[in-house]
């Protein structure tokens, strides 16, 4: 699937964008501070645009020139400043190719490659920004160079006024000719009328619309291993130019000057210039879309909706790997999360995966991957013991204190009420927890892991009446009808993929089951972290976790802690309002650097636009969009994406759409 998606995309093309700026100055000492000010200004503007940029040092500039003069070659650039005094060679010796040949009028050769330099003749009165985008999408080796030179404002206005005077003079001459020939003097040649109108509009732009005048030289250098391939590439670029009412003209007998002008030196040796206003020149700014294609253990997240390139990202490289999948019912949240889960399973073999699944949607996929499905329900044969404890923790951590803290919160959930546990009750529970684990902590013989019933019996032994109150509340879950958590653990909790299914439960039991599941997740993450293994956690139907204040506050603390334990947690929910229900829960959204937004309900769109600073254009990608379309947030990068997953065995494992499930049943 990935190979097919990459073949359909433009990701084989590497695009590098460089800006060289220059100023007139007497010498380097005078130029340096002025150039540094310009550099700071340019980079500041790029930052505001959301475009990352970095200045190049001397070696980086030499490496760029080396790559331009060695087309098609993967020859590494070997250079160090200390080589110059040792070898007596200059910097040019390290970047020069084997040979140059500029003897032909319309072609040149650099090393083994053929090259051709053309310039863009702009005939259109109005240009589209798609022109440059289409040229840059071509799968051909080429350098597109824009030399932009500012014209003094007063000089530009004076020149335009001079042209208007010339046009006026030409009008008078045409009218005289018409009178002499007996024609109507008001009938003027169409070209003259057009030139007159364009010049008047240009003067108005320069005088009152904050426009400036620029001189633009637009050159394209095509390079190819064979002459035939070169001619084909030049013909293709020419076809794109023609489509936008421009012409690509070969620089006859100026191939050398054109090639030198294409190098990142800021030198323009081509005398062909076209006057352009600020807004016309801005059409050629080549920052149309952000791309996200990372190497290493990067995962697939669909195709860029603007450039149709594959999106490959590594969440572990973010400051906070925490992620969220937000979208209305049927938008494809679960599908996107399962696809990432499958990618993790296949791409990063050492990492482990835990899923908290309230609806049982992930079980078929986990079974197919050979993982462990733990179904927590009154009639289920699977059991998780909330009293399980890992005593060989890292230094500085007290496993018994952490377990006591968890059991206190569990008892608080069981006892319920507005007040929860009183101070005396908390003391009694803490004392009983330590007594229950005493033999295990001291390592006395082959002691069994205690059960919830052991805590219940220990509470009954205590003299305080408060202990009996807590024990009575626990009785239902120990010897009563809801005793499913009063059994030893009988499932493989150390399996590489573990899915905890929490369905077919009443509201009270669901709260306790979720609390115990959260504890299981944090314990598993701890264990994996000590073994140097990362854990990917998925919490589906996340809004269910947030309903109960105690579970929500516990989860907020867990969400902050998981990141430090090498965990990559993801929460899936359709209710954005639940995330903003309290300042505490809002922290989950604030501590999330990875987000996939799919189609959103109208009220949720307004909330997200305000919370995440989404523009009107970006909002269109999550408004009535199809399943698998939306916005991806990766740190400070926001990309609209489309994910069209091919149907087959994997698709059938990932989908939860009723129509797909019905089709699959019919096929079987």
Query: 191 or 168: which carries more pLDDT confidence?
Result: 168
Q: What is the CA radius of gyration of the chain?
A: 35
| Tokens 């390592």 found at | 443
- More reliable by pLDDT, 377 or 366: 366
Are the C-beta atoms of 142 and 221 separated by less than 8 Å? yes
pLDDT at 667: 46
Paired strand residues for 354: 498, 537
Kindly state the percentage of the chain with pLDDT values over 70: 93
Does residue 668 register a pLDDT over 60?
A: no
Q: Binning pLDDT at 50, 70 and 90, where does residue 391 land?
A: low
Give the pLDDT score at 508: 72
pLDDT at 257: 96
pLDDT averaged over every residue in the chain:
85
Between these two residues, 506 and 180, which has the higher pLDDT value?
Answer: 180
398 vs 659, residue with greater confidence: 398
Q: How far apart are CA 644 and CA 653, in angstroms?
A: 15
pLDDT band (50, 70, 90) for residue 395: very low
The span from the first CA to the last CA of the chain, in angstroms, equals 23
Helix axes of 190-208 and 153-181: crossing angle, nearest 10 degrees:
160
CA distances from 135 to 146, 250, 634, 657 (A): 13, 16, 28, 40
Q: C-alpha angle 464/469/470, rounded to 5°?
A: 100
pLDDT at 524 over 70: yes
Provide the pairing of β-strand 372-375 with 299-304. unpaired
Whether pLDDT at 132 is above 70: yes
Task: Give the per-residue pLDDT at 660.
Answer: 60
pLDDT, one tens digit per residue, over 72-127 is 877 789 898 998 998 889 999 999 998 999 999 999 999 999 999 999 998 876 78
User: How far is Cα 103 from Cα 382, in angstroms, rounded to an integer?
Assistant: 82
Neighbours of 599 (CB within 10 A): 24
**Domains, the chain, ranges and CATH?**
98-286 (no CATH), 320-381+491-668 (3.40.50.300), 385-488 (1.10.8.730)
| pLDDT tens-place string over residues 465-485 | 888 888 888 888 888 878 888
What is the average per-residue pLDDT within 276-301?
A: 81
Block residue for tokens 């076809």: 239
Lowest mean pLDDT among 19-28, 543-552, 567-576: 543-552
Q: For 134-168, how does the pLDDT look when each residue is reduced to its tens digit (9 = 90+)? A: 898 888 899 999 999 999 999 888 988 998 899 88
User: CB count, 10 Å around CB of 569?
Assistant: 25
Q: Check residue 245 and give left, alpha or beta (phi > 0: left; psi -120 to 50: alpha).
A: left
Query: Under DSSP, is residue 562 helix (H, G, I), strand (E, B) or coil?
Result: helix
DSSP calls for 614-646: --HHHHGGGSSPPTTEEEEEETTEEEEEE--PP
Is the Cβ–Cβ distance between 549 and 417 less than 8 Å?
Answer: no
pLDDT computed for residue 12 by the predictor: 59
Question: What is the β-pairing status of strands 594-597 and 629-634?
Answer: antiparallel
The DSSP annotation for 540-584 comes to SSHHHHHSSHHHHHHHHHHHHHHHHTTEEEEEEES-HHHHTSSHH
Q: Express each pLDDT in 218-270 by its tens digit.
A: 999 999 999 999 999 999 999 999 999 999 999 999 999 999 999 999 899 99
């Amino acid at each position: 699937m990935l190979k097919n998606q990459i073949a359909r995309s433009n990701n084989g093309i590497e695009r590098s964008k460089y800006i060289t700026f220059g100023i007139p100055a007497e010498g380097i000492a005078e130029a340096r501070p002025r150039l540094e000010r310009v550099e700071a200004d340019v980079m500041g503007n790029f930052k505001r645009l959301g475009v990352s940029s970095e200045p190049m040092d001397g070696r980086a500039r030499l490496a760029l020139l080396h790559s331009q003069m060695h087309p098609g070659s993967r020859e590494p650039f070997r250079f160090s400043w200390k080589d110059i005094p040792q070898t007596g060679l200059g910097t040019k010796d390290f970047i020069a190719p084997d040979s140059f040949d500029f003897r032909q009028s319309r072609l040149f050769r650099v090393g083994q490659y053929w090259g051709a330099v053309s310039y863009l003749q702009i005939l259109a009165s109005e240009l589209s920004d798609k022109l440059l985008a289409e040229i840059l999408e071509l799968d051909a080796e080429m350098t597109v160079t824009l030399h932009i030179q500012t014209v003094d404002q007063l000089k530009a206005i004076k020149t335009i006024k001079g042209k208007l005077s010339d046009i006026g003079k030409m009008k008078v001459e045409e009218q005289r000719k018409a009178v002499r020939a007996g024609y109507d003097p008001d009938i003027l040649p169409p070209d003259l009328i057009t030139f007159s109108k364009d010049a008047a509009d240009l003067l108005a732009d320069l005088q009152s619309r904050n426009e400036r005048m620029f001189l633009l030289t637009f050159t394209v250098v095509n390079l190819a291993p064979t002459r035939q391939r070169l001619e084909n590439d030049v013909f293709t670029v020419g076809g794109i130019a023609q489509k936008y009412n421009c012409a690509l003209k070969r620089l006859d007998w100026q191939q050398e000057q054109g090639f030198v002008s294409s190098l990142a030196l800021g030198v323009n040796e081509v005398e062909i210039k076209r006057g352009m206003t600020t807004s016309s020149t801005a059409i050629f700014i080549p920052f149309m879309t952000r791309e996200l294609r990372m190497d290493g253990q990067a995962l697939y997240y669909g195709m860029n909706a603007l450039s149709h390139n594959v999106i490959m990202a590594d969440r572990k490289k973010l400051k906070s790997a925490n992620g969220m999948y937000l979208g209305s019912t049927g938008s494809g949240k679960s599908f996107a999360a399962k696809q990432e889960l499958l990618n993790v399973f296949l791409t990063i073999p050492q990492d482990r995966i835990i899923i908290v699944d309230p609806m049982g949607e992930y079980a078929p996929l986990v079974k197919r991957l050979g993982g462990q499905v733990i179904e927590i329900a009154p009639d289920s044969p699977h059991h998780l013991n909330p009293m399980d404890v890992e005593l060989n923790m890292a230094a500085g951590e007290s496993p018994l204190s952490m377990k006591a803290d968890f059991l206190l919160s569990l008892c608080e959930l069981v006892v319920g009420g507005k007040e929860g546990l009183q101070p005396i009750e908390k003391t009694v529970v803490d004392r009983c927890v330590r007594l229950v684990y005493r033999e295990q902590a001291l390592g006395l013989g082959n002691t069994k892991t205690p059960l919830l019933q052991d805590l219940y019996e220990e509470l009954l032994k205590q003299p305080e009446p408060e202990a009996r109150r807590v024990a009575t509340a626990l009785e239902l879950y120990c010897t009563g009808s809801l005793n499913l958590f009063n059994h030893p653990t009988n499932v493989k909790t150390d399996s590489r993929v573990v899915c905890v299914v929490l369905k077919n439960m009443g509201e009270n039991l669901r709260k306790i089951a979720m609390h115990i599941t959260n504890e299981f997740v944090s314990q598993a993450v701890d264990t994996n972290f000590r073994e140097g293994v990362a854990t990917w956690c998925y919490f589906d139907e996340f809004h269910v976790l947030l309903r109960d204040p105690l579970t929500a506050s516990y989860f907020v603390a867990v969400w902050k802690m998981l990141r430090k334990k090498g965990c990559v947690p993801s929460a899936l929910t359709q209710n954005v309002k639940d995330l903003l229900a309290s300042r505490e829960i809002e922290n989950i959204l604030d501590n999330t650097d990875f987000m996939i937004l799919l189609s959103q309900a109208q009220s949720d769109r307004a909330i997200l636009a305000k919370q995440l600073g989404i523009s009107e254009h970006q909002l269109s990608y999550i408004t009535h969009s199809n399943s698998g379309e939306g916005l991806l947030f990766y740190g400070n990068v926001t990309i609209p994406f489309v994910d069209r997953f091919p149907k087959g065995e994997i698709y059938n494992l990932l989908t939860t759409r009723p129509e797909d499930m019905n089709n699959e049943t019919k096929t079987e």
